[in-house]
């Protein structure tokens, strides 16, 4: 029997690694002739292609504090009819939100096995945002309940496979998904030394880039704390250094206020070729998050030949080679981050060598290889293995 996968997701039009992974998967399914359909429910703009179905939500609003994210109430029966018509052999639940909950119910109604991905560490986010043990415990309990009936659960890193085991999820059902990005879209050939000056930056500077949601759960308070000292130390050595923040979020205003006068530039969201050019035209990538299950931007920046600074917690360290393609630093040691920025900022040959190694390293992480692995596991689930 041919494998037919229907994927349910709460995020598709949002700007994040999860939605990019799903869009890439939908594209590859078309080019490789796999029966794969995405179902969502959103008012955001999404790709118009034959294997993506958007069932209009009954109600949708922007998420408080996260205006680039959406809370939606999907029509369950309409989604059921759309899924049933596709006769799936596997239902894939990509997110544990309202669409994911309906997808879970639909799989039960259809008697179809489920697979899913643990894309986002929601308990860790709750802990960072609310500092409330009861809420964190409640979220962890929900995640355990949500994923319990899944035949397979993909994790984005080995680190998170271990964390899911501590949640009480059967380790025999866990599969670490081979990571991958569109390596052809992120490449040092897109370097353009005029792009930053055109955006109001200095014509010549050592540029450290962060890309992602500008929020506390990304450990950005640490970056806001250490950048002034690192910037001052580089300035004392007659090195002009800039911190480039690509993205937006609830911590932006506070971070902007804190970093006034430190050559920090907030560029908001950037997309596609412009984003690739911003990566390739910088000098190093800084990503202090301790809650990312993978860190797709860490892979994109390395493919663009940037050395990366990542934390020793979460998934990004697994797609970084310490002292070769970047540095893996203690998540809660500000001095280590300050010293690392100063070290890379003052050592051009080291930056170039690490960047070249990073680009070479990432060539094995194509999205095509990742999707092949993804699909093979769904074939196993469909076959009852």
Nearest to 342 by CA among 190, 334, 22: 334
List of residues 6+ apart from 364 with CB closer than 8 A: none
pTM of the shown model: 0.91
- The neighbour count for residue 383, using CB atoms within 10 Å, is 12
Contact 24, 300 (CB under 8 A): no
User: Strand pairing partners for 268?
Assistant: 246, 247
Express each pLDDT in 52-106 by its tens digit: 999 999 998 877 766 667 888 999 999 999 999 999 999 999 999 999 999 999 9
On the question of pLDDT at 4 being above 90, the answer is yes
Helix, strand or coil, per DSSP, at residue 246: strand
- Taken in order of first residue, the domains within the chain and their CATH numbers are 4-180+366-382 (3.40.50.2000), 188-362 (3.40.50.2000)
Please report, for residues 95, 151, 159, 377, the alpha-carbon distance to residue 172 in angstroms, rounded to integers and kept in the order given: 21, 9, 16, 13
Distance from first CA to last CA of the chain, Å, rounded? 14
Least confident of 1-5, 64-68, 88-92, 317-321: 64-68
- In DSSP notation, 10-75 reads S-SSSSSHHHHHHHHHHHHHHHTT-EEEEEE--SS-----TTEEE---SEEEEETTEEEEEEEE--
| Tally of CA atoms within 13 A in the half-sphere of 230 that contains its CB | 29
């Amino acid at each position: 029997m041919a494998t037919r996968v229907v994927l349910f997701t709460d995020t598709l039009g949002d700007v994040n690694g999860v939605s990019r992974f799903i869009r890439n998967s939908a594209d590859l399914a078309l080019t490789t002739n796999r029966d794969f359909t995405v179902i969502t429910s959103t008012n955001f703009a999404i790709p118009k292609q034959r294997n993506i179905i958007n069932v209009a939500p009954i109600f949708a609003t922007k998420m408080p504090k996260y205006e680039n994210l959406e809370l939606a109430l999907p029509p369950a029966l309409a989604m059921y009819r759309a899924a049933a018509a596709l006769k799936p052999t596997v239902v894939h639940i990509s997110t544990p939100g309202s669409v994911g909950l309906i997808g879970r119910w639909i799989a039960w109604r259809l008697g179809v096995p489920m697979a899913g991905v643990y894309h986002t560490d929601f308990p860790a986010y709750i802990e960072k945002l609310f500092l409330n043990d009861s809420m964190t415990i409640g979220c962890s309990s929900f995640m355990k309940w949500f994923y319990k009936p899944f035949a397979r659960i993909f994790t984005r890193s080995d680190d998170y496979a271990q964390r899911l085991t501590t949640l009480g999820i059967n380790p025999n059902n866990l599969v670490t998904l081979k990571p991958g990005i569109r390596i052809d879209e992120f490449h040092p050939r897109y370097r353009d030394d005029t792009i930053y000056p055109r955006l109001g930056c200095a014509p010549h500077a050592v540029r450290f880039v962060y890309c992602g949601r500008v929020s506390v759960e990304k450990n950005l308070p640490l970056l806001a704390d250490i950048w002034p000292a690192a910037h001052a130390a580089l300035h004392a050595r007659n090195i002009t250094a800039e911190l480039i923040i690509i993205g937006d979020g609830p911590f932006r205003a506070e971070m902007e206020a804190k970093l006034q006068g430190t050559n920090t530039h907030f560029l908001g969201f950037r997309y596609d070729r412009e984003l690739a050019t911003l990566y390739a035209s910088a000098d190093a990538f800084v990503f202090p998050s301790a809650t990312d299950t993978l860190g797709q931007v860490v892979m994109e920046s390395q493919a663009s030949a940037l050395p990366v600074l990542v934390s020793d917690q979460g998934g990004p360290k697994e797609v970084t080679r310490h002292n070769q393609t970047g540095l893996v630093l203690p998540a809660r040691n500000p001095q280590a981050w300050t010293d690392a920025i100063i070290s890379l900022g003052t050592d051009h040959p080291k930056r170039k060598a690490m960047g070249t190694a990073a680009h070479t390293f990432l060539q094995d992480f194509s999205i095509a290889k990742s999707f092949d692995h993804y699909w093979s596991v769904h074939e196993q689930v469909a076959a009852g293995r």
